[in-house]
Structure 1
Amino acid sequence: MSKNLISINNLDYSISKNVKFRLKIKKFELNKSDSILIYGDSGTGKSTFLNLVSGALSPKKGKINVLGTEITNTSSSQKDVIRGDHFGIVFQTFNLLPYLSVKNNILLGKAYSKKKELKSNNEEVKILMDKLSLNYESLIERKAYELSIGQQQRVAVARALIGKPEIILADEPTSALDKNNQKEFINLLFKSLDDNEQGLIMVSHDNKLSEKFKTVKNINEICEINND
């Protein structure tokens, strides 16, 4: 089986004719067990890059291949299923729904998945919570707004990892955290990946957390950005 999870070739993306932003990627690959940190200043296209990788945005030209499937011209609903089955995403502000329980927040990670059995799989939720030092019995029905920052971090990681997706994307997940919580978050994320062959792409405004990543690149090494 191929080790390739994502390949991008000759991609060209622009927002619209009226917005002067253009992003080009000649070639990019993510393979099994890769961990790639992409850093750059705000407004340099990092989040746009992740949205293209996941199929949330569509390029004007070029090809994006995810696990052997060319997704560039697939429908929005097909892309939703691909994201649901194969991607786990950690957002900048964790994006937990405050009045949903821990269990339901975790299972939201598979809302669009075709793997129907995951949507009510308490066993996998418990395994993930135990692995991330979240007490299942006391926290499973607790609302997200009642959690500490550290607990919210762990729930966000569990939501990204539910169903063992092959690809993990992390969009500035440490930007709102202090130095100690940043390191703890990265340690948690890598601990969770140790037992699998998942590929990780994380974008950040700096490269201070680079020591755990196999590959560290400035966004300008991957994308050609034109704002003129």
Structure 2
Amino acid sequence: MPDSPNLPTDHTSFKANEDATGEAVGLSHLKFAYSEQDNPVIDIPSWHLAKSEKCFIAGPSGAGKSTLLNLLTGTLAPTEGEITLLGQPFSSLSSRKRDAFRARHIGVVFQQFNLIEYLTVQQNIEAAAYFYKGKAGMTEARQRIPSMLEHLQLSPTIGRKKAATLSVGQRQRVAIARALINRPQLLIADEPTSSLDAQTRDQFMQLLLDIAQDTAVIFVSHDVSLARYFSRHEDIREINAIQGNVQ
């Protein structure tokens, strides 16, 4: 993949210090409002997730799930309080350094998978590695992609297919591979099963948690039946002190 002005060029390597605290995520006095004139939509006094812990967060639309995930991935910055990820004061970083940290330490599986339709499967996965370490990251990724695709029950030849030609089941597996190619210590999944039938959903959950055994996971969904896959269950309305119509 050639260099592009749309791709980040800051491949800063952070040494996450999760072993010092045993925590993947720490939230302290966290508040967020979309503007100074608006009331906060997030108010979380304290919340913590241990390293390698798997947490399911449920809640209805408008309760703050998406806003919380945007704060955890650094696309939004807190109005007040602190977010600590893997021992790093994440919310204190500049926007550019949050992007670099996310590329290295956080994997994200989106609701619609967000594959780049005109790229091949191989190129979609390599793009995530490029965000982390540039061309060197892509070279390393090429060595891991075949075994990762095999683990996800995908044919090695699928790497040459355009994302636009994939079935829903194939897309979900490629999305997992892309999220985990950089060996992140934290995986965030945002309603990734909402468009799947029951059988495909269950296969997705089993594959996701199998390949992310050593990774801390935050899985957000309104589908409470998925809680059975997780040792820890939370309701966003119990985490977030703000009630009402939130994003």
Question: What band does the TM-score fall into relative to the shorter chain?
Answer: over 0.9
Counterparts of 1:74 and 1:157, CA distance in 2: 27
Counterparts of 1:133 and 1:223, CA distance in 2: 38
Counterparts of 1:198 and 1:116, CA distance in 2: 25
Counterparts of 1:5 and 1:110, CA distance in 2: 21
Counterparts of 2:237 and 2:86, CA distance in 1: 25
Q: Does 1:163 align with 2:185?
A: no
Number of aligned residue pairs: give it.
Answer: 225
Structure 1 residue 34, shift from structure 2 partner: 0.6
Q: Answer whether contact 2:118 2:164 (CA < 8 A) is retained.
A: yes
Q: Which runs of 5+ in 1 are unaligned?
A: none
Residue matched to 1:117: 136
Deviates more, 1:150-159 or 1:26-35: 26-35
Residue matched to 2:228: 211
TM score, norm. by length of structure 1: 0.93
Matched-pair identity in %: 37
Q: Which residues of 2 match residues 14-163 of structure 1 at below 5 A?
A: 14-114=33-133, 117-120=136-139, 121-136=141-156, 138-163=157-182
Deviates more, 1:13-22 or 1:23-32: 13-22
Q: Answer whether contact 2:63 2:244 (CA < 8 A) is retained.
A: no
SS in 2 for 1:69: coil
Structure 1 residue 109, shift from structure 2 partner: 2.4
Amino acid at match of 1:25: I
Q: Answer whether contact 2:110 2:192 (CA < 8 A) is retained.
A: yes
Q: Which runs of 5+ in 2 are unaligned?
A: 1-18
Q: Answer whether contact 2:132 2:182 (CA < 8 A) is retained.
A: no
SS in 2 for 1:77: helix
- CA pair 80-60 structure 1, distance change in 2 beyond 3 A: same
Counterparts of 1:111 and 1:23, CA distance in 2: 33
Structure 1 residue 193, shift from structure 2 partner: 1.6
Counterparts of 1:162 and 1:77, CA distance in 2: 21
Q: Answer whether contact 1:85 1:115 (CA < 8 A) is retained.
A: no
Structure 1 residue 114, shift from structure 2 partner: 3.6
SS in 2 for 1:5: strand
Q: Which residues of 2 match residues 1-12 of structure 1 at below 5 A?
A: 1-2=19-20, 3-12=22-31
Counterparts of 1:116 and 1:169, CA distance in 2: 25
Q: Answer whether contact 1:21 1:227 (CA < 8 A) is retained.
A: no
SS in 2 for 1:209: helix
- CA pair 19-110 structure 1, distance change in 2 beyond 3 A: farther
Q: Answer whether contact 1:88 1:109 (CA < 8 A) is retained.
A: no
Structure 1 residue 118, shift from structure 2 partner: 2.4
Amino acid at match of 1:133: Q
Structure 1 residue 75, shift from structure 2 partner: 1.0
Structure 1 residue 73, shift from structure 2 partner: 2.5
Structure 1 residue 211, shift from structure 2 partner: 1.0
SS in 2 for 1:175: coil
Q: Answer whether contact 1:21 1:226 (CA < 8 A) is retained.
A: no
CA deviations over 1:29-81 (Å, ceiling 9, x no partner): 12122110001111111011111112111111111111121121211110000
Counterparts of 2:142 and 2:160, CA distance in 1: 12
4+ residue segments displaced more than 6 Å: none
Q: Answer whether contact 1:20 1:227 (CA < 8 A) is retained.
A: no
Deviates more, 1:123-132 or 1:11-20: 11-20
Structure 1 residue 91, shift from structure 2 partner: 0.1
Counterparts of 1:118 and 1:163, CA distance in 2: 8
Deviates more, 1:19-28 or 1:52-61: 19-28
CA deviations over 1:85-120 (Å, ceiling 9, x no partner): 000000001001111000111122234314753223
SS in 2 for 1:28: strand
